[in-house]
Structure 1
Amino acid sequence: MKDRILSVDIFRGMTIVLMILVNTPGTWQAVYAPLRHAEWHGYTPTDLVFPFFLFIVGTSIVFSYKNKEVTGATYKKISIRTLKLIGLGLFLGAFTLTFPFIKDFENIRFPGVLQRIGVVFFFASILFLNLNWKALIATAVLLLVGYWILMDFIPVNGMESTFERAPNNLANYIDVQVFGSHNYKADYDPEGLLSTLPSIVSSLLGIFTGLILTSKQEKKATILMGLGGSFLILGYVWDLFFPINKALWTSSFVLVTAGWANLILALIYYLTDVKKISFGSIFRYAGANAIVLYFLSSFISKVLGMIKVNETTSLHGWLFDTIYVHDFMSLQMSSLLYGLTVVAFYCLLAYVLYQRKIFIKV
């Protein structure tokens, strides 16, 4: 788009680069604390990454569909993109190296990151096309409050509901009942069924930011800063009653992560779009092919873990031990350097694709 906002592209690219970094350490046994997910309640910088991507999906929906004529072809395009994202996610969960290259059915994980992106994109797009901003706010509030009520007040198996990792946690219970062995963990999935409802709001809040950025409002950075601060305050107040939790994608988690997203995007917007300071081009390149980079990084990482150099060591493990593990540095540093090398590779790939004007749309 000729009126494209540079800060949005940079923010998207930064998010996808961080997604790759936190997903590809040298070894999961030695990862610095900020690059780990919270054990359960609370959050780390890593826990911000996925909601940031859903947030920017919402912002991008505004750029794609605002002031455009809505036809049957529009809904068809949205549906096809949704099915592509879900299909790629299911492929990642099912792929194996041995013929017929599909895991046994009982070992396939059904939920996943790309599946959630697809579902959230679908519902956020449909809502944006059919509701005005006031109705979108009402929908967001209804989803967040409704999810809290469901999680807090619905008994599970005759027991009082809980927000802890337990059988009487409603979100966990539904995931086990619906997906059975097809979850990420035996007792829950961080991209589970019920928690998809509040994750849609992560994208709706990104839509509100997109509406601000495309409006004629002055001092947009200031407005975004105020919005981000307000979300943070509301999120931390709600945390007293409904704990911040990524695995459950709690309503407080939605608000806190959207708060940080607005604050960071506001800063980038001020520097790039207001002050015209040039930086972050590599992130803009990564953002131009974000889904492709994420899929390739996940797929190649999975393949490297499957290829065996010997009975106990994968190709990934061999590369890490041979190139990165040394007596003069900690294992955590070695693990981080491996991840940064992976990130550098995909940033280079993003640069090449961008320079050759290759933009692979999913």
Structure 2
Amino acid sequence: MAWLLERSGRDEVANLDTNQLGIDEAFLTFDLGNRSQAWLYTLSEDCHKCPFELNSKIGHLESNVTKISTKHAWTLLLTESDEGLFVKNSSSKICELQASLGQFGIYNVKADKCKIDVISKPVNIYAPLIAVASLLVLIGVILGFISSVLNYCRKKQKFEPDRESSKPENNVQRRRVSSLDTFRGISILLMIFVNDGAGGYQILEHVTWDGLQLADFVFPWFLWIMGVCIPISVKSQLKRKSNKFLVLISIFKRSCILFGLGVMLNTLGVGPKLETLRIFGVLQRFGILYFLTAGICTIFWPTNLKTTGRFLDLRTLFPQWIVHLLLHAAHLLIVFLYKIPGCPTGYFGPGGISENGLYVNCTGGVSAYLDKLILGGQTHLYQNPTTKFVYKTGPFDPEGPYGCLPSLLTVFLGVQAGAILLLYKKSSERLVRWFLWGAVCLVSGFAISIIIPINKNLWSTTFSLCTSGSAFLVLVLCYILIDKISLWNGAPFLYPGMNATIMYVGHMVAYQLWPWHWSFGRMDTHLILLVEALWGVGLWTIIAYILFRKKFFLSI
């Protein structure tokens, strides 16, 4: 079982105790040949366009062993003299080599030959992930089969929760699309899993700056799903209230509740210290984007909604498309034309030590600069962004106020999906349009990424397109399995998807509370961290199922 427990079974190798290593750590030893000392500089592949950073001094009089992280590959540089904290081009280089290291491995760097020998092989950190994922899939298949057999024996139709109250004009009652709740549930459980550490797996966490990893899809998927629901909600409210002003008041109230709830959650663990309170965050962005997108949708929603004709969805949303395209064009003009003191226009970089510190105070470009102007400084920004630890930057808020402007595109692409759901009754019509929108968004997003990088922190245009494109395709898959061929009822994701607000707020409040979280021993393997994270996800799923059975659904 050593392969599963991530331990080789040998605690001491080459006089080194591997029990001293933490998760994602390895030992580096050095053979300097005839040299008495050297300086080790390191450069992580996660730090783009960065200089080498001093790691340690090694030699006969100092320790010739150092610990090093294995989360990313490294470029190692050995020099004959101390060249300062950072160095771009060494004048006393002994050796420079690439190193992809593994957890609990022991390696020896031979300076004369400029190569790395493996003294003790690393463990396979992905074995627990594969084993646990396979087990969960197997359990899901078994439970699904049992559920199908029971339903067949009882000769009942698949239960479809929370039926929509509005009826089409032919008086045939339309059911709520369960795949949408399931998609929302997938997003909320994935978010809880990531926030609980994702088992310590770097590939499941947020990317530091440019690029996309699994965790980066969660937030935009949520916003996109909110957008899907907006035209359905607006149509329903206009039918009940028959007054757009009253609908706008209702939208404003909900937005204020979301924003206030987000600010309240920002005080968890730090207290309500007003002079340093982080004002913006996840729910705050939800509130602002809901107000803007739902408000625009309400204002421009046609009084006499047509239900026939070609390009029905585009004709219905045409005025809204014009508004949103103008808003996004304004964002791009600001990004590429607004001049920031000491920074180039159109800067998308992380600043800090990137590019040898040339733009040290330009992290996030115009987005961060305007956030500081709006909030009167950086004390109300997020103080510990990922860039702080990799690029040595200052505070930066990935959910800052300016980021709401480019994020509108994500929500409105969800509105487009919602309009298709609302205006087209046949499954084939919906699926074809969702698939085409998904393909177009993905292709255009990756194509434009040559100019505008895919970046969650800045919520770049390409990030909106790629994440929204993936959302279209995920909805297509869920819709086929759940609503079209009824091969799956959406469980267990359906249940948390119908109480997403409780799930989000609850897991934030209970972040360090038992029984959702616990520790045992050193917690120094991916297996134990993975079990702990999935334990919390499982408990919240059970809570969501209980609420579902009690027919308790919280809606703000």
Aligned residues: 339
**Equivalent residue for 1:177?**
373
**Equivalent residue for 2:277?**
108
| Higher Rg of the two aligned structures | 2
User: CA offsets per residue over residues 57-114 of structure 1, 9 Å max, x none?
Assistant: 01111221225334243222211211111111101112448xxxx3322331111001
Contact 1:165/1:172 (<8 A) preserved: no
Change (3 A) 1:88 1:317: closer
Q: Matched residues in 2 for 1:261 and 1:55: separation? A: 7
**Equivalent residue for 1:83?**
256
Q: Matched residues in 1 for 2:370 and 2:515: separation? A: 35
**Equivalent residue for 1:354?**
548
Shift of 1:345: 0.7
Q: Matched residues in 1 for 2:247 and 2:333: separation? A: 35
Change (3 A) 1:334 1:94: same
1:319 alignment partner, one of 514, 518, 530 = 518
Q: Matched residues in 2 for 1:279 and 1:316: separation? A: 29
Q: Matched residues in 1 for 2:437 and 2:335: separation? A: 27
Shift of 1:358: 0.9
Change (3 A) 1:165 1:280: same
Shift of 1:147: 1.8
Q: Matched residues in 1 for 2:469 and 2:405: separation? A: 19
Change (3 A) 1:331 1:139: farther
Q: Matched residues in 2 for 1:40 and 1:234: separation? A: 20
**Equivalent residue for 2:225?**
56
Matches within 5 A, 1:333-348: 333-348=527-542
Paired residue secondary structure (1:15): helix
**Equivalent residue for 1:198?**
406
Matches within 5 A, 1:241-256: 241-256=451-466
Paired residue secondary structure (1:225): helix
Shift of 1:133: 0.3
Equivalent residue letter for 2:551: K
Matched, 1:222 2:432: yes
Shift of 1:279: 3.2
User: TM-score, normalization: structure 1?
Assistant: 0.88
**Equivalent residue for 2:96?**
none
2:349 alignment partner, one of 152, 155, 164 = 164
Paired residue secondary structure (1:136): helix
User: TM-score, normalization: structure 2?
Assistant: 0.58
Paired residue secondary structure (1:48): helix
Matches within 5 A, 1:63-78: 63-66=232-235, 68-69=238-239, 70-71=242-243, 72-78=245-251
Shift of 1:318: 8.8
Contact 1:93/1:109 (<8 A) preserved: yes
Paired residue secondary structure (2:400): coil
User: CA offsets per residue over residues 284-324 of structure 1, 9 Å max, x none?
Assistant: 111111011101101111x54xxxxxxxxxx89992234x8
**Equivalent residue for 1:138?**
322
Matched, 1:285 2:492: no
Matches within 5 A, 1:303-314: 303-304=512-513
1:234 alignment partner, one of 434, 440, 444 = 444
Contact 1:11/1:283 (<8 A) preserved: yes
Q: Matched residues in 2 for 1:316 and 1:32: separation? A: 23
Structure 1 runs of 4+ off > 6 angstroms?
315-318
2:191 alignment partner, one of 15, 19, 28 = 19
**Equivalent residue for 2:177?**
5
Q: Matched residues in 2 for 1:78 and 1:114: separation? A: 15
Shift of 1:119: 0.9
Higher helix share: 1
Stretch deviating more after TM superposition (351-360 or 330-339): 330-339
Stretch deviating more after TM superposition (118-127 or 63-72): 63-72
Shift of 1:355: 0.5
Q: Unpaired segments of 5 or more residues in structure 1? A: 305-314
Contact 1:7/1:265 (<8 A) preserved: yes
Paired residue secondary structure (2:259): helix
Contact 2:516/2:536 (<8 A) preserved: no
Matched, 1:33 2:202: yes
Stretch deviating more after TM superposition (169-178 or 68-77): 68-77
Equivalent residue letter for 1:337: V
Quick one: percent identity of the two aligned structures? 29
Equivalent residue letter for 2:396: Y
Greater RCO (Cα-Cα under 8 Å, separation 6 or more) = 1
Change (3 A) 1:121 1:114: same
Shift of 1:217: 5.8
Q: Matched residues in 2 for 1:344 and 1:153: separation? A: 48
Q: Unpaired segments of 5 or more residues in structure 2? A: 1-163, 165-173, 301-315, 352-360, 384-393
Equivalent residue letter for 1:151: V
Contact 1:113/1:191 (<8 A) preserved: yes
Paired residue secondary structure (1:282): coil
2:337 alignment partner, one of 153, 170, 188 = 153
Change (3 A) 1:106 1:156: same
Equivalent residue letter for 2:176: R
**Equivalent residue for 1:310?**
none
Contact 2:248/2:298 (<8 A) preserved: no
**Equivalent residue for 1:309?**
none
Change (3 A) 1:159 1:319: closer
Contact 2:224/2:468 (<8 A) preserved: yes
Stretch deviating more after TM superposition (216-225 or 6-15): 216-225
Paired residue secondary structure (2:454): coil
User: CA offsets per residue over residues 263-289 of structure 1, 9 Å max, x none?
Assistant: 110111112111122232221111111
Higher strand share: 2
Contact 2:178/2:490 (<8 A) preserved: no
Contact 1:172/1:187 (<8 A) preserved: no
